[in-house]
Structure formats: structure tokens, C-alpha cells
């Protein structure tokens, strides 16, 4: 590291990719950029941010930190690569009885004989021929393989044996579950290993592109990625465990917001163009969930920060009907102001239609579709082909596209958006902000036309419509905060009019409309607002919840700061357990990650567990990218004489 080092932080969000050039000595952001996130290929937006951020003196760049939605999006959008899963020692009847196969994340799985008991003793040797035959049946259909043994945390020998054989035979990446977790829940471990294998190639392509871009600019330094629990891991280490990057977005929100605000305790609210994320900071650190995360439909062993995300942002679609009902989100569309500013060749078509249709029946009548780019792959679906043909000569109202192309299933709409074939243009909070000058980056007159159509339909003024939108956003965010912090869901949804008592108490606390009975909802900790729209939308939330709100310097790019100011953290655990032979204590097992060992005496076993756990955690900390650090042990003695040991290794990137 040079005498005046610089850090590069890059975070890819749902709408924008943020980047910062950060001085770690002065704790200052020297330069920041925002570039549109390219969902079809995250490499493009990351490389664009790098292009703008890398200074002339690249020798001063001592660290690059990345936070990416790549893993989260791949799971949520079903874009994971096909994988095969070998289940060693599992009971097929039990799995099928409780439909556990739904958790495996792949239809390509096989039950293979080979069993260790809960004490780590081999009962049935691994069926090597069966492994090759069963996995060989689906191997041509998959890009990677995963193996998980039923009692792998007690003895991982079968996993290691199977992993070696499969790698030698098929030459494909093989994930061994015990490398990711020592969790006893065999279904969670299998799901984690399967998901991890399915994400390997996604992250590998991303990593290669980033490394090539840095090398091309003469940057030679550690490259770190943010885990879902907010800690950092070196890129090479991360390439073997991409599943641990899921939910890294909310993690960088908490870390970056807390760091910039110098906050010991508070609620970080990150409001972007697509989503709003809530995360807690306590004792100066992002609060991590006690339980492992559920990712999509899959229960995993992955640790993440305690966070809540929901579809609400500056580009959220405003839906309305002729009866005056108004809803903001969760869908994201392109604001009229932005679309017309970036596509002047299509502006007259859009504004001309708005001028000749001053009233519409409902919000779908106000939505436009535009062709973003010709598809890069061959399109088989006939409806999609008709949509593309209709949009070749310019944007059209959505209702007209649907009328001419035929019924369009929602899943097909989402596929066309994900492939960046079409853009949906609609009324958003961003458009309303353009009408009164609160935000003026794009085409204010086009936004005003769309707002006028909506206001005329609802028989109100643009000013009143702006206030109704703000009230709806405030109500939505406050409701999410209450549910997040209380860890309880409301008994009825936001849109129902027949409110239960909990909903009545909440809304009375916000609006104080009842003549006889009152209630109050107050937040006991400050709010830290980050993200581009935060300063506009979050002050009313703080007032409603009677708390302070903080907007630290560079709050708009706090996530990118969070990508470089975190620590490398690894966690491991061990156990000292009684070995009972009938009514006699036969010794003490030391269970460590990947295996166990028997000792005659308790003191000998405990000392071995402490030493081995410290050594393995320190080695893992170095592998994860720490230059130096320390290992802390926490011990919990149970009533039966057993001891659980938890080790945390913490260090700064090397």
C-alpha cells in the first residue's frame, strides 16, 4: 500500500450502479459516479464505473470493493445454471414423503449409498460405481455438480471422496457442502451446495471481466466482494462460494450508511429507483440475522444482515383507476421524463398521444412500450415476435400493443424486460418531482403532460396528486418499518378497507383522524437516509414516526462506500461432545469443520478443540483475503458436559 492509498467502491443497484473513489486515511469520498445498471450483463455497468473512477496514478489504488446483485438476481429470476446434486446417505422415502426435493433447487439429483452415523462412524461405504452411474445419467445436462452427505458435518470423508471422483471423471466444477457450512440441517446444506454450484459460472464470468478491466488500466491490488452479512471476501475466494453474496445490497446499505453517519445505533433506509431496503445498525455494525437466510423458495445456510426489501422507489409505477384509488409500486417502469430526454427521436410520438388523450380510464392506458434493442437470441414465442415487430417503428401505448399482438402473459412481459428487449414507460414519482422542480434531471414538460392526464382522470390538481403520492409513499415505508422491527406482519394488506385493529392502530398513529381514540407509533432510533431519492421522500417518514433523520455527506452513493469500508470476517464452530457407551462415558468427541476425533479426557479434548479451531479460523481468514486479523473464541458449556465453541476471525483486507 502506498503512503496515500485510494480505494475504489462499486455497487450495482436495481436502477443505477454507484461508484466512489475513497481516501481511507481522510475517511473521505473524493469522487463519485452513477451509471445505469445493465441487467442483461452487469459487467457493462461495472466497467463503465471503473472507466470513470480509475485515476491517472493507478499505483495509489490499494483496494477495489464490489457489491453486486448478480447472485440475488440469478436466484430471483431463475437464471441459475443447471446443476446436478449427489445426496450421500439420504433416505429417499423420507425426502419424498415431506417433499424436501423442492428445496434442492434442481431436478437433477441422485441418492447414493454411503453413510456415516451421527458419531462419524462409517456404517456403509460410499458406492463409487453407483455414484458414477447415477450422476452420469444427468451429467451432460448440467454445468456443475454438488455433493452433500447426510452427516457431512460429523465426517466429510464421503463428500471429499465423491468430489474427487466426480471432478476426475467429468472435469466439471464440484461443490462439497462441508466447505460452505457445518449446519446440521441436511436439507439446508444440500440447498446451499446446489445453489452455490448453480452460480459458479455467473460469478466466474463477472470476475474475469472485472479483473481484465483492472489489469488493462494498470490496477494491481486486492479485489473484494461484499457478503450477505456485510463482511468482505477476496474475489478468488468468492468465486468458490457465490451463494454467500446473496443479499449483499442491503448489507452495503447498512455498512455505508452507518459509516458515513458515524452511527452507533439506527435504522438505515436505502431508497433507490427500484427498491427500498431497511437494515439495522447496532453497536456500530450491521445487525446479522440469528437464523440463516431463505433465498427465494430455498432454505439455506447463508448468513445475511437483518434487512427487509420491498418494491418502492423513484421509478415505481403509479397505478390508478377512475374511482380515485392510487398505488405506488412494486413494479418498476421508465419515467416519462427520462424516456423522452434520452430518446428525443420518439418524444413527439409519446407527447403527441398524451396531448390528444387528456383523460384515461386507468393507469395501464397511460403506459407505453418501446423496443430497447433487437433480441440477441432467437425468439421462439410467437407473441413476443409480434410485439417486437409492432415496436420496430417506435413506442406504442401498451393497450394498443396488447390489442394487436394478442394476450400477453405477465411472465412473458417480465422476460422481455429482463432480456432488455422492451422498456415499459409509465407515470412514476420521478415524473411528479419534475413538475414542481424538486428534481429536474430530464424532460420536465413530458412529465407534466403525463401528470396532467392522471390528475384529470382523478379530478384533482397536479399539486394534490403530488401530495397524494407522497402520502402513499410515507404510509408504505412506515408500514414496512413497523413490520420489519416488530417481526410481525399486518393482518390485512395495505389496500384492504376492512381494517383489523393492528392496521387501525398503525394508521391512527400516523394520521390522528379519530375523534375519540388515539394511538402513537414512534421510532426510538434515528433514521439514516441514503440513496438518490432519500432526501425528498424520507423526511415525512421521520416526522410520522417522531424521530430524527440524518443525511450524511455523499448519502447518494453510500452503498459504494460500504463496499470498501467493511472487514473480512469468517466464522467457524466446533463441539466437544460426550461419547456414551451404554451407561459409561467412553471419551469425548471433538467435532470440527469437516470431521471429528475421539479423546479419552475432557481437558485434552477441549484444548485440542480450542487450538484447532483457532488455527483453522485463522487459515480461513487469510484465504478470505485478510492481511492480518485476530480470532476470538466464545464457549458455551451445556448441562451434559458438552461444550460448543464459536470462533470469529476479523481482519482488514491484505
Span 20-29, pLDDT tens digits: 999 998 989 9
What is the spatial distance between Cα 72 and Cα 631, in angstroms, rounded to a whole number? 30
The CA distances from residue 559 to 131, 366, 650, in Å, are 45, 34, 21
What is the spatial distance between Cα 223 and Cα 228, in angstroms, rounded to a whole number? 17
Quick one: pLDDT at residue 494? 60
User: Cell numbers at residue 73, please?
Assistant: 438476481
- Whether residue 635 has pLDDT greater than 80: yes
- Whether residue 149 has pLDDT greater than 90: yes
Q: CA quadruple 55, 60, 64, 65: dihedral positive or negative?
A: negative
- Whether residue 4 has pLDDT greater than 80: yes
Q: Region 349-356: what's the mean pLDDT?
A: 90
Residue pointed to by grid coordinates 448478480: 70
- Whether residue 166 has pLDDT greater than 90: yes
Q: Dump pLDDT digits (tens) for 560-591.
A: 999 999 999 999 989 898 887 767 777 888 98
Residue pointed to by grid coordinates 474475489: 235
Quick one: pLDDT at residue 496? 59
Q: What is the full DSSP assignment across 6-49?
A: EEEEEEE-SSEEEEEEEETTTTEEEEEEEEE--TT-HHHHHHHH
Q: Dump pLDDT digits (tens) for 77-110.
A: 666 789 999 999 999 999 999 999 999 989 999 9
What is the spatial distance between Cα 383 and Cα 373, in angstroms, rounded to a whole number? 17
Q: What percent of the chain has pLDDT over 90?
A: 51
- Whether residue 403 has pLDDT greater than 80: yes
What is the spatial distance between Cα 107 and Cα 341, in angstroms, rounded to a whole number? 46
- Strands 83-88 and 61-67, bridge-based pairing: unpaired
Q: Region 220-242: what's the mean pLDDT?
A: 92
Q: Region 382-401: what's the mean pLDDT?
A: 90
Q: What percent of the chain has pLDDT over 70?
A: 97
Average per-residue pLDDT in the chain?
A: 88
Count Cβ neighbours within 10 Å for each residue of 269-308 and write b for 16 or more, e otherwise.
Answer: bbbbbbbbbbbbbbeebbbbeeebbebeebbbbbbbbbbb
Least confident of 9-13, 186-190, 291-295: 291-295
- Whether residue 165 has pLDDT greater than 60: yes
Quick one: pLDDT at residue 296? 67
Least confident of 72-86, 302-316, 363-377, 602-616: 72-86
- Strands 294-295 and 298-299, bridge-based pairing: antiparallel
What is the spatial distance between Cα 301 and Cα 217, in angstroms, rounded to a whole number? 38
Least confident of 508-512, 521-525, 526-530: 508-512
- Whether residue 499 has pLDDT greater than 80: no
- Whether residue 495 has pLDDT greater than 70: no
- Contact in structure between 287 and 305 (CB atoms under 8 Å): yes
Query: What global pTM score does this model have?
Result: 0.84
Q: Region 239-262: what's the mean pLDDT?
A: 90
pLDDT band for 262, please (50, 70, 90 cuts): very high
Q: Dump pLDDT digits (tens) for 442-479.
A: 999 999 999 999 998 888 999 999 999 999 999 999 99
Quick one: pLDDT at residue 613? 94
- Whether residue 504 has pLDDT greater than 60: yes
- Whether residue 1 has pLDDT greater than 60: no
- Whether residue 268 has pLDDT greater than 90: yes
Amino acid at each position: 500500500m502506498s503512503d496515500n492509498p485510494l480505494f475504489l467502491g462499486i455497487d450495482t443497484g436495481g436502477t443505477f450502479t454507484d461508484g466512489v473513489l475513497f481516501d481511507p486515511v481522510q475517511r473521505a469520498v473524493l469522487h463519485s459516479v452513477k451509471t445505469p445498471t445493465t441487467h442483461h450483463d452487469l459487467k457493462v455497468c461495472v466497467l463503465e464505473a471503473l472507466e470513470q473512477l480509475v485515476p491517472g496514478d493507478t499505483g495509489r489504488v490499494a483496494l477495489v470493493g464490489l457489491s453486486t446483485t448478480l447472485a440475488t438476481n440469478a436466484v430471483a429470476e431463475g437464471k441459475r445454471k443447471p446443476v446436478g446434486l449427489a445426496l450421500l446417505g439420504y433416505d429417499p422415502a423420507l425426502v419424498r414423503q415431506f417433499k424436501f426435493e423442492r428445496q434442492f433447487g434442481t431436478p437433477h439429483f441422485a441418492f447414493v449409498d454411503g453413510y456415516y452415523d451421527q458419531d462419524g462412524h462409517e456404517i456403509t461405504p460410499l458406492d463409487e460405481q453407483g455414484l458414477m452411474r447415477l450422476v452420469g445419467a444427468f451429467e451432460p445436462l448440467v454445468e456443475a455438480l454438488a455433493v452433500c452427505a447426510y452427516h457431512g458435518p460429523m465426517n466429510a470423508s464421503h463428500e471429499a471422496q465423491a468430489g474427487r471422483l466426480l471432478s476426475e471423471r467429468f472435469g466439471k466444477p464440484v461443490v462439497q457442502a462441508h466447505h460452505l457450512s457445518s449446519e446440521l440441517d441436511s436439507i439446508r446444506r444440500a440447498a446451499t451446495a446446489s445453489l452455490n454450484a448453480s452460480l459458479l459460472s455467473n460469478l466466474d464470468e463477472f470476475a474475469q471481466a472485472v479483473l481484465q478491466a483492472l489489469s488493462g488500466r494498470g490496477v494491481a491490488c486486492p479485489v473484494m466482494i461484499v457478503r450477505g452479512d456485510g463482511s468482505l471476501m477476496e474475489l478468488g475466494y468468492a468465486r468458490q462460494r457465490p451463494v454467500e453474496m446473496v443479499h449483499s445490497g442491503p448489507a452495503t446499505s447498512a455498512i455505508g450508511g452507518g459509516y458515513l453517519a458515524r452511527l452507533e445505533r439506527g435504522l438505515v433506509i436505502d431508497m433507490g429507483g427500484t427498491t427500498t431496503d431497511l437494515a439495522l445498525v447496532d453497536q456500530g455494525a450491521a445487525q446479522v440475522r440469528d437464523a440463516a437466510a431463505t433465498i427465494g423458495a430455498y432454505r439455506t445456510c447463508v448468513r445475511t444482515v437483518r434487512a427487509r426489501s420491498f418494491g418502492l422507489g423513484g421509478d415505481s409505477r403509479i397505478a390508478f383507476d377512475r374511482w380515485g384509488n392510487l398505488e405506488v409500486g412494486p413494479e418498476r417502469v421508465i419515467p416519462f421524463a427520462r424516456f423522452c430526454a434520452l430518446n428525443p427521436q420518439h418524444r413527439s410520438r409519446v407527447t403527441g398521444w398524451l396531448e390528444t388523450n387528456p383523460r384515461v380510464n386507468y393507469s395501464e392506458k397511460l403506459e407505453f412500450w418501446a423496443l430497447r434493442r433487437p433480441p440477441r437470441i432467437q425468439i421462439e414465442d410467437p407473441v413476443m415476435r409480434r410485439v417486437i415487430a409492432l415496436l420496430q417503428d417506435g413506442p406504442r401505448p401498451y393497450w394498443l400493443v396488447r390489442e394487436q399482438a394478442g394476450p400477453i402473459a405477465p411472465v412473458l412481459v417480465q422476460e422481455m424486460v429482463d432480456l432488455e428487449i422492451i422498456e415499459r414507460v409509465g407515470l412514476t414519482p420521478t415524473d411528479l418531482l419534475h413538475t414542481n422542480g424538486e428534481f429536474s434531471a430530464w424532460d420536465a414538460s413530458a412529465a407534466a403532460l403525463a401528470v396532467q392526464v392522471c390528475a384529470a382522470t382523478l379530478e384533482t390538481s397536479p399539486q394534490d396528486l403530488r401530495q397524494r403520492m407522497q402520502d402513499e409513499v410515507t404510509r408504505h415505508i412506515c408500514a414496512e418499518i413497523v413490520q420489519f422491527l416488530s417481526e410481525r406482519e399486518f393482518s390485512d394488506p395495505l389496500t384492504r378497507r376492512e381494517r383489523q385493529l393492528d392496521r387501525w392502530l398503525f394508521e391512527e398513529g400516523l394520521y390522528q383522524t379519530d375523534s375519540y381514540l388515539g394511538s402513537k407509533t414512534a421510532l426510538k432510533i434515528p433514521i439514516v437516509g441514503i440513496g438518490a431519492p432519500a432526501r425528498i421522500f424520507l423526511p415525512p417518514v421521520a416526522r410520522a414516526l417522531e424521530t430524527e433523520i440524518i443525511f450524511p455527506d455523499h448519502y447518494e452513493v453510500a452503498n459504494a462506500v460500504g463496499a470498501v469500508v467493511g472487514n473480512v470476517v469468517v466464522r467457524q464452530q466446533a463441539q466437544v461432545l460426550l461419547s456414551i457407551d451404554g451407561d459409561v462415558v467412553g471419551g469425548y468427541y471433538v467435532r470440527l469443520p469437516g470431521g471429528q476425533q475421539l479423546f479419552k479426557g475432557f481437558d485434552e479434548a477441549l484444548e485440542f478443540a480450542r487450538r484447532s479451531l483457532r488455527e483453522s479460523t485463522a487459515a480461513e481468514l487469510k484465504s478470505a483475503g485478510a492481511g492480518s486479523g485476530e480470532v476470538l473464541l466464545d464457549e458455551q458449556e451445556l448441562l451434559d458436559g458438552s461444550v460448543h465453541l464459536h470462533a470469529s476471525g476479523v481482519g482488514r483486507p491484505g
